[in-house]
Structure 1
C-alpha cells in the first residue's frame, strides 16, 4: 500500500527532477512558503504586469480610487497555468459522483438529526475548483492583504511615511502583485489536489453545492489500493456531512469567515527587535573592524518583521471551530460507513495522515490567507462528540450546533467532562430547547440590568 495516502504530494521517483525542484526552491524567494516560480509563463506574466504597472503609474498615482490589495487577475492567470488544461468531466464521472453522494446521504440519515443539505451535486475538475471557489478565497484574502499593507505603513517612522507619500501608489501596486503571485501559486497547488469543494472544513465552495473531484479521488484510490467506489462513497459522505452543517447551522460559515476578518483587522507588524539589534551594534563608532564585526552579527540575526494580531482570540476560535466541524464529520461518517465499507478505518487513517503531512486547513490558510495557526485537534473533537452522544443521545448532540454559545470551547477539547456535565444537568431531563434556553438567559440578563439600575437610583 502506498504511503502517500491522501497527501497533497504524490511523490516523484526521478532523482534529477527532485534535484531540479530543490534547486528551484532555493532560488525562489517564495520557496519557504511552498510556492513555485511557475516556469517561464509565470515569470513572463510577472514581467508583463510590471510593465503595465510602470506604464500606468502616473495616472494611478493621480487617481482617487485606491489600488486593490491583491492583483487577482495575476493570481488567476498563475493558478490557471498550474492547473493546465484539465480533462473535462464526462457523463460517467458525473453519474458516479451523483450516485455516491445519494448513497452516502441515505446512510448518514441514520446517524444524525441534521437533514440533507438539499444542495446540487456537482463533479469538478481542477479548473472548476479554481473558478467556483475563488470568490470565497477572495473574501478571506482581501482583508488580510488590505490590513497587512496598512500595518506595514504604520510600522514606518512618521518621517519616512511623509517622504514616501508620492511613492505609495507604486508600493501598493508592488504589494498587490506580490500578494497576487503568492495567491496564484497557492490556489494552483490546491486546485490540482483538492478532493471536494470544502476540504478540511473550509467553506469555500458556493453555498448549497456538494462538489467532488473524481479524477483526484481516482488517484487517491490507486495510491491506497482500495476499491475506487468505496473511496468515492467515503469522501462523498465526508462532504455531504459538512454540507449538512453548513446548511443547517446558519451561523457557522459566517463565524468561520468572520474569524479570518477579525484576525486581519488587528494585524500588527513588530520591528522592535530589529531596532534593538541595530542599537546594540554601535555602528556610529566609525571603527572598520567593529563595523565588520557588527555586519557579521547581522547576518546571524533573524531580521524578519514579526507579524501578529491584536485579535489573537480569533485564530483560537478558528482552530476550535475547524476541529469541531471535522471531528463531528469524522465521527458521524465512521458510524455510517464502518459496517458498510470495510476500508473505513484505513480511509480515516489516510485522511488523518493527509492532515498531518501536506493537506490541511492550517497549511491552506497559511498559503492562501496568510494566517498561521495550530493544527485543529480533530481527534480530541471526535472523542468529545462520541462522549456527548453516549451521555445525551444523537438528538441532543446535534442540538449543540443550534447556537454558538452552546458550542464546546478549546478547553473542552482537552477535558470534555465539564461540558458533558453541563448538558446532563440542563433542565433535569426535560427535552433540550436551545431557543428557549437563549431566551431564558436573555431574560435573566435583562432582569439583572434593571435591578442594577434600580439600586443605582436608590
Structure 2
C-alpha cells in the first residue's frame, strides 16, 4: 500500500523533499524564472516543443533516485534534432554513393598496402550518424559532465543562503541529476548539429564508429551539401570523400592499437579538466532571472573551465601531433588514389579549409569539453608522409603504423630527412634468436583478412 512505501533515501528529516517541491514549483512556471529561459540558457533552440521536452526531462530527474547521468537523453535529443533537417536520399543518390565506395576501394588498393575492410561501408542518415557516434562523444564528454555535477553540488552545499540550509542536506543528488540532465541534452544538441555537418564516420579525425572491425560510413545528404557551390561535378566529390573515408577506416583497422591509444589520450586529458567552483559561485551570486543567457554564455565560452595546466598542455600537444599524423597520412594516400580525378586538388583544398575553420557545432563541442579536435600541424605532417613515400615507397611508409614505437613524432615532422635516413638504412638481418622467435610465434603474414 502507498502508506507503507518507504521514502527515498535521504528524504527523512533532511529537507530534500522540501527542496524537490521548490524545484517542482519552478518547473511548473510558478517562480520568477521562466523555464523557457532556462532552455535558452542551456543552449537549446527557442522552440516550444524543445522547451516542453526539457521541462519533462527535468521533472523526471526530480524523481530519479539514482546518482548518474541519463545519457539516453543525449541520444534522443541528437536524433530528434538531426532528423528535423534530414532529407531522404533518392535511390539514384544512394546508388551513386555505393558506386563511389566501390571504385574508391579499388583505387585505394593501388595507393596503399593496407588491406581492405572486412565489413561493407554503410550509408547513414543524419539521425543514424548521431546515434551511431554518440557512444564515443559520451565517452569524451563524461569526465566534464561529472566535474560540472560535482561543482554544482559543492557550490550548493557551501554557499546556499542560511535560510535554505535545512533543505540542502540531501539536495546534492537532486542537483547532480538536474545538472546531468541539462548537460546530456546539451551534448545531444551539439551532436545533433554535428550530424548536419559531418560527411563521414571519420570526418572529425577520430574513429567515431565503435566495434572491432572498423566500418566506413558516409552521410549522402551531407556529402552532396559539401559539394554545393564548388562548381565541381557531384560524382567527383562523392568519389574523393569516399576514398578519404575508406582510407581513414583502413588505417584504424590496420593499426589495431591506434584507436585505443587515441581515445585514451583524449579521455585522460578530459579527466584532468575541472570546473572553477569560485567562478560558478560568482555566476550564481550575480544571476539575473530575467537574463539567463549569461549562464549560457559562461558555459559556451569555456569560462567555467580554468586555464590548462602544464601537464594538460603537454597532453594536448601529443594529441594534436597524433591527429596531424593520422590526417596527414590520409591526405597523402587520398591524393595518390584520386590522381585520376580532374579536380582532386581543388576538392582537397576545400577539405583543408573546412577542417581548419571548423563548424559551429565543433566549436560548441570544444567549449563544452575543453578540447579541440583539429590538428594544427596537418600540412607539415602531410609533407613528411609524402617525403617518406617518395623515399621508401608506400609499403615502407605504411609499415610505420605497425607499432606505436615506430610512428613518427614531432621531431620527425620537423625534420623528415632524419626519419628518411633511418628508414633508408634498413633493418639488420635477423639473428638466430630472432629466427627462433619468429618460428615459435608463427608467420602471421597470411592472416590478413581481405574484402570478399
Query: Could you tell me the TM-score, scaled by structure 2's length?
Result: 0.72
Deviation at residue 186 of structure 1 after TM alignment: 0.6
Matched, 1:46 2:54: yes
Q: Counterpart in 2 of 1:233?
A: 239
Deviations 1:342-390 (A, max 9, x none): 1101101100110122349974751664424664321111001011112
Q: Which aligned pairs between 1:148-163 and structure 2 lie closer than 5 A?
A: 148-150=148-150, 152=151
1:266-305 equivalent positions in 2, closer than 5 A: 266-269=272-275, 304=304
Q: Who is 1:402 aligned against?
A: 402
Aligned to 2:74: 75
Q: 1:348 to 1:373 in 2, by over 3 A?
A: closer
| Distance across 2 between alignment mates of 1:104 and 1:219 | 20
2:257 to 251, 264, 267: 251
How far residue 134 of structure 1 moved from its aligned partner, in angstroms, is 1.8
Correspondence 1:203 to 2:211: no
Residue by residue over 1:270-324, the C-alpha shift from the partner in whole angstroms, topping out at 9 and shown as x without a partner, is: 568999x9xxxxxxxxxxxxxxxxxxxxxxxx97551536544332222112111
Partners of 2:280 and 2:216 lie apart in 1 by: 48
Asked if the contact 2:204/2:373 (under 8 Å) is kept, the reply is no
CA distance in 1, matches of 2:127, 2:350: 25
- Tell me the secondary structure at the aligned position of residue 204 of structure 2: helix
> Is contact 1:268–1:307 with CA below 8 Å preserved after alignment?
no
Q: Which has the higher helix share?
A: 1
Residues 149 and 408 of structure 1: CA distance in aligned 2, closer, same or farther (over 3 Å): farther
2:173 is the counterpart of 1:172: no
Please name the residue that 2:376 is paired with.
376
SS in 2 for 1:402: coil
Partners in 2 of 1:262 and 1:246 — Cα distance? Answer: 20
**Which residue matches 1:328?**
329
* SS of 2:216 mapped into structure 1: strand
**8 Å Cα contact 1:97-1:122 kept in structure 2:** no
RMSD: 3.6
Secondary structure at 1:201 match in 2: coil
- Cα 1:232/1:91, change in 2 over 3 Å: same
Pick closer, same or farther for the CA change 1:305–1:138 going to 2, 3 Å: closer
Query: How many pairs were matched up?
Result: 370
Alpha-carbon displacement from aligned partner over 1:180-219 (angstroms, at most 9, x marks no partner): 1220211111111211122032211244322111122122
What stretches of structure 1 of length at least 5 have no aligned partner?
Answer: 1-23, 278-301, 441-458
Q: 1:362 to 1:89 in 2, by over 3 A?
A: closer
Q: Is the 8 A contact 2:114 2:251 kept in 1?
A: yes
Question: Hey, what does 2:113 align to over in structure 1?
Answer: 113
* Matched-pair contact (CA < 8 Å) for 1:100–1:233: yes
Cα separation, 2, equivalents of 1:134 and 1:211: 14
Q: Does 1:224 align with 2:230?
A: yes
Distance in 2 between the 1:269 and 1:178 partners? 16
**Contact 1:79–1:185 under 8 Å retained in 2:** yes
Alpha-carbon distance in structure 1 between the residues aligned to 2:145 and 2:308: 14
1:213 corresponds to 2:213: no
Q: Distance in 2 between matches of 1:100 and 1:252?
A: 27
Range 256-265 or range 395-404, more displaced: 256-265
Where does structure 2 lack aligned partners over 5 or more consecutive residues?
1-35, 283-301, 439-452
Note closer, same or farther for the CA distance 1:144–1:422 as it changes in structure 2 (3 Å cut): farther
Inter-CA distance 368–423: structure 2 relative to 1 (3 Å threshold): farther
- Give the CA deviation at 1:220: 2.2
Distance 2:356 2:374 in 1: 11
What does residue range 79-94 of structure 1 map to in structure 2 within 5 Å? 79-85=78-84, 86-94=86-94
Separation in 1, partners of 2:48, 2:314 = 42
1: CA distance, partners of 2:364 / 2:330: 19
The corresponding residue for 1:184 is 188
